[in-house]
Chain A
Amino acid sequence: MSIQITNISKTFGTFKALQNVSLTVSHGELVALLGPSGCGKTTLLRIIAGLESPDPGSGPVLFYEDDVSSQSVRQRRVGFVFQHYSLFRHMTIFENVAFGLNVRPRRYRLSKSQIRERVFSLLKLVQLERHADLYPSQLSGGQRQRVALVRSLAVEPKILLLDEPFGALDTKVRKELRHWLRRLHDEMSITSVFVTHDQEEALELADRIVVMNAGRIEQIGKPEEVYDNPANPFVFSFLGDVNILRSPFGSQSTQPSATASYIRPHDIEISKTALDTGSIQARILHVAAVGPTVKVELARLDTNESIQAEITRQIYKRLNITVGQMVFISLHNCRIFQ
């Protein structure tokens, strides 16, 4: 096990940021801590790094079976990428990346030429070797992010922690950097944990996802596990768009029941005729045919509840539906929660 934490709690004043959180990360894994803002994911990351200390009575933090709970940030030797990169503004890109190597005690310090070589090989890796003499303020957001990453990798950490690594970037740069981080992680044989509030990013990038809410872990699993088999309504709604239907499908009762059916828009099938006994009638309210999928808003005929459906362009063309039309809808992969 690369990282193992047990029963970690953290309180800020009266606010419980983390409550009895336990987590194990294997060597070489890329794990996402996913949750809404204020759920404690960044606090957990900072506790792993040693930048925050957990409440007394919390369990230990282990790195490769070693208890590092009492070690300082400095001794833990993790790589940490801050949300706003925290590049040293008065140093050039070269000096930024070399910093971790230059502050080592003299006995362990590499020679000037070795440091130079290491820094340039890292800068080459992120295609910034021509920017070595520039200052952080002269780089774009994406370039700064890459500098922050190689700066943390320069000291060859076994564990890399990233706090919202792509949070401050625009969508296009985000997507590029995501693939690039995945490649880098695999090449370096490193254990990585990153914090994000973007479910798409977590689902696409991570080997495993830790879904967090209000200081607790709601579910841990592979992306397809948490997406297809959410443990509870929170995970279901946090991982993607969802319809929450208060009245059971197919029953004649219009009374709202204690349970609710959760279904994703793309699991709703629209047809001109009833497919089976589970199909019910609905009227089309609105169609948005822009983008890779067509978003259709419908109203159930029995309860008048509004339902969002997503269908492919091909199906949309074949069905040839228009606003106001009556259709049948049937549900696939519907989950019922209390």
Chain B
Amino acid sequence: MKNKLPWIPIVLTAAALAFLGLFLLLPLAAVFIEAFRKGIGPYFQTFADPYARSAVRLTLLVVLTAVPFNLIFGLAAAWAIAKFDFRGKGLLLTLIDLPFAVSPVVSGLLFVLLFGARGWLGPWLLEHDIKIIFAAPGIIMATMFVTFPFIARELIPLMQSQGTEEEQAAMVLGAGGWQIFRRITLPNIKWGLLYGIILCNARAIGEFGAVSVVSGHIRGQTTTIPLHIEILYNEYNFVGAFAMASLLTLLALLTLAVKSLVEWKTRNEQAAAVIGGIE
């Protein structure tokens, strides 16, 4: 069909590009420009600061506990929902979505309400000398809660679309539960799973709201990278704040690159399956 108004696509594309430039590329560039405003020396000095190092360490600890936890429970929840029928399945699905629906700040407050000094379990925790709120456990738990849906949500539709016939075939051939999972289910979902892990990981690193509420902002002890950035910014240490922010930005760019690679890989495999499937 001949296009009667050739300028329309050009205008639309230009508008989209202008929007993207203004709201995505410009801030992205600004982060690095601000971070290097006083040169390379001050930029790297930010990371020599013990508080900054402690924030990076805490963030790594949070990610390394929250992501594996969500990996195991997300897989278990997706497996149960996609492959079995049971009462309360709808309720479970709603519960998995809950962290998406609730504001992260509210999630954080929930944990304070539960484990804080004046919370429901506060007195008991105090008695046994267990610190959760204003300590690393609280930050980890809040992050787990907020990032819980990512892996489960990614896997449920994938596993549902694949059905259970291959698992049944494996069962008839004599495979046990673990063998079926390792040899049939896992290979079929590996790319979806990796995609979920990447998203979960990105969110766990960057989570601010819920973590901010339970952290107490104790420098060198309970500040993660996003919280440390806030502190630096409030102290007018812009180079420091943007240097830390550039770290998160680089992580985000890396995540995007890996994500695109995974998407490209899945699309290729699906395309191969479709082309091969034509009889």
Could you tell me which A residues sit within 8 Å of B by CB distance? 49, 51, 73-74, 77-80, 82, 84, 86-90, 99-100, 103-104, 135, 137-138, 140-141, 151-152, 154-155
Q: Which residues of A contact B176 (CB under 8 A)?
A: 74, 103
B188 CB within 8 Å of chain A: yes
Chain B, residue nearest A80 (CB): B172
Chain A, residue nearest B170 (CB): A99
Chain B, residue nearest A137 (CB): B276
B170–A88 contact, CB under 8 A? yes
Interface of A (DSSP majority class)? loop
**Contact residue among B170, B179, B188 (Cβ-Cβ distance under 8 Å from A89):** B188
**Contact residue among B172, B179, B184 (Cβ-Cβ distance under 8 Å from A49):** B172
Q: Which residues of B contact A152 (CB under 8 A)?
A: 172-173
A51–B169 contact, CB under 8 A? no
B127 CB within 8 Å of chain A: no
Q: Which residues of A contact B175 (CB under 8 A)?
A: 74, 99, 103
Q: For the side of the interface on B, what is the size category?
A: 20 to 34
Chain A, residue nearest B169 (CB): A86
Q: Which residues of B contact A155 (CB under 8 A)?
A: 173-174
Instruction: Contacts A137-B273, A141-B279 given; indicate if A103 touches B173 (C-beta within 8 A).
Output: yes
Could you tell me which B residues sit within 8 Å of A by CB distance? 165-166, 168-176, 179, 183-184, 187-188, 272-273, 275-277, 279
A90 to B103, CA, bound (A): 40
B183–A103 contact, CB under 8 A? yes
A254 to B279, CA, bound (A): 54
B164 to chain A, nearest CB (A): 9
B170–A103 contact, CB under 8 A? yes
Instruction: Contacts A51-B168, A82-B168, A90-B187 given; indicate if A151 touches B173 (C-beta within 8 A).
Output: yes
B184–A88 contact, CB under 8 A? yes
Chain B, residue nearest A151 (CB): B173
A137 to B272, CA, bound (A): 8
Q: Which residues of A contact B184 (CB under 8 A)?
A: 88
Q: Which residues of A contact B276 (CB under 8 A)?
A: 135, 137-138
A74–B187 contact, CB under 8 A? no
